[in-house]
């Protein structure tokens, strides 16, 4: 990596940076550098993403025919359960916070590292330990409870390896809590001189909101799954009515975390989009304070909507009315973000670079995901579409169309900063388009399947649903190509990509004022901030707006 | 009734047209928003495309009037969606009077159904067209969910709870029903058919009862004696326990001064957790029957207690305030 390709115009990799500061396995496994820890997470979440992706592929192949094409019912049930567990707990939740958040938060606020670097490394080890428990469960009997672990199915009736799985998720929870804690303290105490709260990049606001949910929500899921595990192992009656427990109690506790967990997945992606759009429109984001405040609003209101997953469990009509109304309330700040992003494009100087394609794709998919959330929050409609493929389509639009598009878009945006190299632009644009098309073909038919009445988690289905299922599977094969392509060219670019230079876009954030890849200490001199966020007009150092040479002084902040 | 759109399923109950209209409203609003946003993105994307390498955008920081507008307008539309949905849901959760009550028990992986006269079915449900039907749902093991897409209704069957759902079939025919709450290995095959029949056909079908089917009221009466319920719950109200005549559907005053509606869930709870709610004026003497009765026996007892409706309420029956209306 330290060898510089001969040609590119002027830029050279810095002599020493965080990737070549030290060598050897030990220097990685014992690192306390937030950037290296981010890369450890990048490798591990990518592993779980491909594991979950393999399960998803088998699910889609199986559903090609009404009778089920590939596997036995037991195996099918394990596939969708393990797909959900791997993707949600071990990919989506840590993806943006632990990879991009870890890498970027200190750089964005002008700090040398996070507040507790050793705790940061510990979080990764906890994540790996939890992951090992879950992999052990997958390998020794699998898991067939659904990722929701509803009792008494999970705590009494399932014959699969539930206990190691719930222990793994319990352990993994501490990783989230410590990461959240680390981010909150870092953002509060380690901002560079001049980096006031309202000069923070919106990505940092989003991470801050996410961290609040990590800290407040995760303990609840951890203890809930532990209780389910105790009921399974020692027959303590918490949720099993035969032992005096209540299965509905489990759902309340589970969703108290797991609904806010949806915002853990989507808020950081929104943060990424809020960075990309002003950069590639080269203008300040429209309504900065509204976007920042809406992140906090989503995090807070998101804690009060959980029972909208339970409208048909027999919960009281009054509770259902309250939770439906609150669910509509949480839609407003999401809508505010979409309107502000769109308005930011107005009178911009818009480029068609890859991250921008992901950002615009994100808006489109999140729009559909968000609007169909209104259908599910609607009490009268939920009677019909609850627990059908409509729900499956809706949350994949949010989690795959939203969170993963944001994650991959963010990876492209900051790839030059992380590796110092540029990826091949044409392939990257192609992959973005393939992902968008493949995604819609996979999941849009599922809305229709749902309204027609196909329940979720079915290993076989009535023949009238076949056409739409085949469409969905066809889409999934396109989608899979869209995921494999970036994996290949991003890996390729680490060695063979063009040298990026400190600020290839150019963007306005502090992270772009230091070298790419950054030195271990992030900045040679502690930066001072005297500009507003996303301000292109008053940043002569970016070399824009005038016909001058596009060059950049490496360290900013001496004025 | 024909469905409005090709991707709407058959409309075969009173709820289907209203749910579909609501769906249409939400689709229209969603399409409206999507078109506005998408059009704006596409137009801006091409119109404001970067013309020269060093060009920057016009620095616009925001607009308070626009922010207020796109908070208020979505909020109003959201309230409309909420209100419309709430009206349908509240109607769905409150069954009308004089329903045809059918008992449905979910177990891994079949539905056991019992008609009011005792006729049993498995994975089949026969109902008459035009009659309000109430399903009382119970589960013997894990959580299941009874879902009839053509009726646009579903409800969970939760172990340890009774849930009810109601609908009025409007079109004769055969319709799929599914288990819609994941319940283990054979979840996907835990379904069957609802047959909606003309009332006369239904009556004829119902009278084809085989000898094995016992009317749940008769079975419940027998159990009531076998389990010695009748030694305390004397019908004239002079026993150690309150008379159960006319209890169902009324309001019961409890020892702690509160009141409770005597519905199926209350009767079930009183049998299984007898000390949970003590009727005013009585001692907590009743043993718990938890674990000693099958779900079907509990349903039979409930059916029997409900059948005591028509008999006069004894004057001394403390606790019972008002018989009748729910």
Judged by average pLDDT, the poorest of A471-475, B33-37, B288-292 is B288-292
Determine the pLDDT at residue A529.
92
Asked whether the beta carbons of residue B54 and residue A242 sit closer than 8 angstroms, the reply is no
Q: Does B8 touch chain A (CB under 8 A)?
A: yes
Tens of pLDDT, residues A333-371 = 999 999 999 999 999 999 999 999 999 999 999 999 999
Is A380's CB within 8 Å of B44's CB? no
Does the pLDDT of residue B263 top 80, yes or no?
yes
What letter would DSSP give residue B276? S
For residues A138 and A54, the answer to whether their CB atoms sit within 8 Å is no
More confident residue, B250 or B142: B142
Interface of B with A in 260-319 (CB under 8 A): 291
Q: What share of chain B is helix, strand, coil (3-state, %, to 5)?
A: 35, 20, 45
Distance CA A114, CA A103 (A): 9
B150 Cβ under 8 Å from any chain A Cβ: yes
Chain B: closest CA distance from residue A393 (Å): 15
Q: What is the pLDDT of residues A299-310, one digit of tens each?
A: 999 999 999 999
pLDDT in tens, B178-201: 999 999 999 999 999 999 999 999
Split at pLDDT 50, 70, 90, the class of A549 is very low
Contact B159 A460 (CB under 8 A): no
Q: Which of A327, A328, A305 is nearest to A252 (CA)?
A: A305
Tell if the CB–CB gap between A548 and B141 is shorter than 8 Å.
no
Q: What is the pLDDT of residue A558?
A: 37
pLDDT at A221 over 60: yes
Task: Give residues 110 to 129 of A whose Cβ lies within 8 Å of B.
Answer: none
Query: Hey, are the CB atoms on B26 and A378 less than 8 Å from each other?
Result: yes
Task: Using pLDDT thresholds of 50, 70 and 90, give the confidence band for residue B210.
Answer: low
Q: List pLDDT tens digits, range A191-214.
A: 999 999 999 999 999 999 999 999
CB contact, 8 Å: B44 with chain A? Answer: yes
Averaging pLDDT over each range in A8-12, A116-120, B251-255, which range is the top one? A116-120
Rounded percentage of chain A residues whose pLDDT exceeds 70: 96
Q: Contacts for A371-374 with beta carbons within 8 Å, 24 or more apart?
A: A371/B29, A371/B30, A371/B33, A371/B34, A372/A397, A372/A447, A372/B30, A373/A327, A373/A331, A373/A398, A374/A328, A374/A331, A374/B26, A374/B29, A374/B30, A374/B78, A374/B81
Cα gap B224→B245, rounded to integer Å: 13
Mean pLDDT of chain A: 92
Is B62–A455 a contact, with Cβ atoms under 8 angstroms apart? no
Which structure tokens are listed for A354? Answer: 């890859």
The CA distance from A286 to A150, in Å, is 43
CB A153 to CB B7 under 8 A? no
- Inter-chain CB proximity B59 and A284 less than 8 Å: yes
> In angstroms, what separates the C-alpha of A539 from chain B's closest C-alpha?
11
Percent of chain A with pLDDT over 90: 90
ipTM above 0.85, yes or no: yes
Residue B262 — very low, low, confident or very high, per pLDDT cuts 50/70/90? confident
pLDDT at B218: 84
- pLDDT value at residue B5: 53
For β-strands B192-197 and B124-128, DSSP reports them as parallel
Gap between the Cα atoms of A559 and B18, Å rounded? 66
Whether the per-residue pLDDT at A2 is higher than 60: the answer is no
pLDDT of residue B2: 41
Inform me whether the pLDDT recorded for A431 exceeds 80. yes
pLDDT interval class at A551 (50, 70, 90): very low
Q: What is the pLDDT of residues B297-309, one digit of tens each?
A: 888 888 888 888 7
**A9 in contact with chain B, both atoms CB, cutoff 8 A:** no
Task: Give the gap in angstroms from C-alpha B32 to the nearest C-alpha of chain A.
Answer: 11
On the question of pLDDT at A40 being above 50, the answer is yes
Q: Please give the pLDDT value at position A546.
A: 59
Burial code (b: 16+ CB inside 10 Å, e: under 16) for A163-185 equals bbbbbbbbbbbbbbbbbbbbbbe
Q: What is the pLDDT of residue B311?
A: 55
R_g (Cα) of chain A, nearest Å: 23
What DSSP string runs through A155-193?
III--S-HHHHHHHHHHHHHHHHHHHHHHHHHHHH-PPT
A557 falls in which pLDDT band (50, 70, 90)?
A: very low
CA-wise closest residue to A291 among A305, A270, A277: A270
pLDDT of the residue at A249: 95
Res A389: pLDDT? 96
Q: Which two tokens stand for residue B152?
A: 């646009």
pLDDT band at A390 (very low <50, low <70, confident <90, very high): very high
The mean predicted confidence, pLDDT, of chain B is 87
A75: nearest CA partner in chain B: B185
Mean pLDDT within A463-473: 94
Q: Tell if the CB–CB gap between B178 and A455 is shorter than 8 Å.
A: yes
Interface test with A, best of B11, B17, B91, B156 (most A CBs within 10 A): B156
pLDDT at residue number B295: 82
pTM over 0.90, yes/no: no
Lowest mean pLDDT among A114-123, A362-371, A504-513, B202-211: B202-211
**Between residues B106 and A5, the one the model is more confident about:** B106
Instruction: Give the pLDDT score at B310.
Output: 56
Q: Chain B partners of A371 at a C-beta cutoff of 8 Å?
A: 29-30, 33-34
A536 vs B56: CB contact, 8 Å cut-off? yes
């Amino acid at each position: 990596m330290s060898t510089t390709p001969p040609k590119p115009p002027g830029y050279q990799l810095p002599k020493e940076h965080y990737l070549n500061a030290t060598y050897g396995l030990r220097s990685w496994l014992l690192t306390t550098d937030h950037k290296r820890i981010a890369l450890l997470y990048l490798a591990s979440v990518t592993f779980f993403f491909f594991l979950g992706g393999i399960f998803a592929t088998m699910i889609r192949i199986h559903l090609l025919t009404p009778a089920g094409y590939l596997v036995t019912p037991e195996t099918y049930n394990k596939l969708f359960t393990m797909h959900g567990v791997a993707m949600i707990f071990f990919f989506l939740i840590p993806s943006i916070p632990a990879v991009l958040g870890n890498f970027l938060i200190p750089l964005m606020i002008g700090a040398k590292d996070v507040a507790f670097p050793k705790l940061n490394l510990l979080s990764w080890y906890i994540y790996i330990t939890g992951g090992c428990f879950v992999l052990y469960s997958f390998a020794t009997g699998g898991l067939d409870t659904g990722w929701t672990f509803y009792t008494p199915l999970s705590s009494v009736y399932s014959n699969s390896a539930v206990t190691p799985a719930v222990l793994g998720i319990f352990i993994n929870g501490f990783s989230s809590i410590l990461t959240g804690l680390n981010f909150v303290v870092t953002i509060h105490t380690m901002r560079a001189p001049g980096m006031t709260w309202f000069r923070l990049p919106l990505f940092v606001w989003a991470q801050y909101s996410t961290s609040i949910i990590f800290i407040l929500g995760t303990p609840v899921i951890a203890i809930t799954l532990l209780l389910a595990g105790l009921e399974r192992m020692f027959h303590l009656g918490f949720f099993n009515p035969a032992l005096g427990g209540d299965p509905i109690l489990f759902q309340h506790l589970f969703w108290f975390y797991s609904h806010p967990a949806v915002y853990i997945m989507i808020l950081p992606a929104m943060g990424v989009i809020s960075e990309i759009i002003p950069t590639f429109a080269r203008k300040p984001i429209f309504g900065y304070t509204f976007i920042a405040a809406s992140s906090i609003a989503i995090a807070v209101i998101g804690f009060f909507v959980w029972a909208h997953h339970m409208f048909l469990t027999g919960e009281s009509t009054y509770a259902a009315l309250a939770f439906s109304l609150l669910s509509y309330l949480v839609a407003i700040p999401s809508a505010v973000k979409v309107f502000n992003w769109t308005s930011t494009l107005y009178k911009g100087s818009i480029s068609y670079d890859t991250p921008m394609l992901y950002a615009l794709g994100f808006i489109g998919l999140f729009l559909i995901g968000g609007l169909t959330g209104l259908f599910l929050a609607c009490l009268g409609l939920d009677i019909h579409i609850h627990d059908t493929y409509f729900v499956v389509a809706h949350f994949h639009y949010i989690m795959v169309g939203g969170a993963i598009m944001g994650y991959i878009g963010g990876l492209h945006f900051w790839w030059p900063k992380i590796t110092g190299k540029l990826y091949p632009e044409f392939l990257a644009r192609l992959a973005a388009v393939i992902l968008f098309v493949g995604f819609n073909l996979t999941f849009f038919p599922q809305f229709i399947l749902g309204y027609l009445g196909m329940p979720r988690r079915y290993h076989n289905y009535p023949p009238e649903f076949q056409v739409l299922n085949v469409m969905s599977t066809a889409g999934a094969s396109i989608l899979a190509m869209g995921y494999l392509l970036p994996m290949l060219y991003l890996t390729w670019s680490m060695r063979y990509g063009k040298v990026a230079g400190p600020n290839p876009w150019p963007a306005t954030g502090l992270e772009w004022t230091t070298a790419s890849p950054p030195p271990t200490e992030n900045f040679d001199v502690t930066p001072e901030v005297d500009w507003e966020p996303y301000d292109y007009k008053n940043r002569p150092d970016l070399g824009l707006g005038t016909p001058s040479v596009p060059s950049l002084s490496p360290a900013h902040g001496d004025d | 009734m024909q469905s409005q759109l090709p991707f709407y399923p058959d409309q075969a109950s009173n709820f289907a047209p209203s749910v579909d209209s609501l769906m249409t409203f939400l689709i229209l609003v969603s399409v409206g928003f999507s078109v506005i946003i998408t059009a704006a993105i596409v137009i801006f994307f091409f119109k404001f495309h970067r013309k020269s390498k060093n060009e920057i955008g016009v620095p616009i920081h925001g607009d308070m009037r626009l922010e207020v507008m796109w908070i208020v307008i979505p909020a109003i539309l959201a309230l409309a969606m909420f209100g419309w949905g709430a009206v349908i849901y509240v109607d769905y959760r409150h069954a009308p009077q004089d329903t045809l009550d059918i008992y449905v028990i979910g177990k891994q992986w079949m539905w056991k159904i019992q008609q009011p006269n005792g006729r049993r079915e498995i994975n089949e449900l026969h109902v008459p067209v035009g009659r309000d039907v109430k399903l009382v749902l119970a589960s013997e093991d894990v959580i299941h969910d009874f879902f009839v897409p053509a009726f646009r209704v579903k409800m969970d069957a939760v172990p340890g709870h009774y849930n009810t759902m109601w609908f009025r079939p409007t079109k004769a025919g055969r319709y799929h029903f599914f288990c819609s709450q994941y319940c283990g290995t054979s979840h996907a095959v835990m379904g069957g058919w609802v047959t909606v029949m003309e009332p006369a056909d239904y009556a004829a079908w119902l009278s084809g009862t085989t000898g094995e089917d016992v009317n749940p009221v008769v079975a419940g009466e027998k159990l009531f004696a076998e389990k010695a319920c009748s030694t305390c719950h004397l019908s004239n109200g002079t026993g150690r326990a309150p008379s159960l005549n006319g209890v169902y559907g009324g309001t019961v005053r409890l020892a702690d001064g509160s009141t409770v509606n005597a519905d199926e869930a209350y009767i079930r709870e009183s049998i299984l957790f007898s000390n949970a709610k003590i009727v005013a004026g009585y001692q907590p003497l009743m043993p718990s029957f938890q674990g000693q009765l099958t779900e079907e026996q509990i349903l039979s007892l409930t059916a029997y207690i409900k059948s005591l409706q028509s008999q006069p309420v004894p004057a001394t029956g403390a606790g019972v305030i008002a018989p009748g209306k729910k």
